[in-house]
Amino acid sequence: MGAAAEQSDDVEDGLQRRVDDLVAAHGGDPRAVIETLLLVNDARAAATSYGYVRGRAVGAALLDHGR
């Protein structure tokens, strides 16, 4: 097996462990896991400013570093 395939397997194994941990933390209820993930995603989206999403904040930050 090549290095890329082994790395892919490691990533997949890590992802599976994270999913298993989430399901276990929610008492085996996959619906509760999905609800939690949706709430976290909504909170992150709300915390991300409109300018950052549009790429304006990144450009402004680059301009400030050039001073």
Looking at residue 48, its pLDDT comes to: 80
Label residue 1 by pLDDT band (50, 70, 90). low
Alpha carbon 19 to its chain centroid, in Å, reads 13
Question: Which has more confidence, 53 or 22?
Answer: 22
Looking at residue 33, its pLDDT comes to: 97
Buried (b) or exposed (e) across 13-51, using 16+ Cβ within 10 A? eeeeeeeeeeeeeeeeeeeebeeeeeeeeeeeeeeeeee
Out of 14-18, 25-29, 43-47, 55-59, pick the least confident. Answer: 55-59
Q: What is the pLDDT of residues 39-59, one digit of tens each?
A: 999 988 888 866 666 666 555
Query: Which pTM value belongs to this model?
Result: 0.58
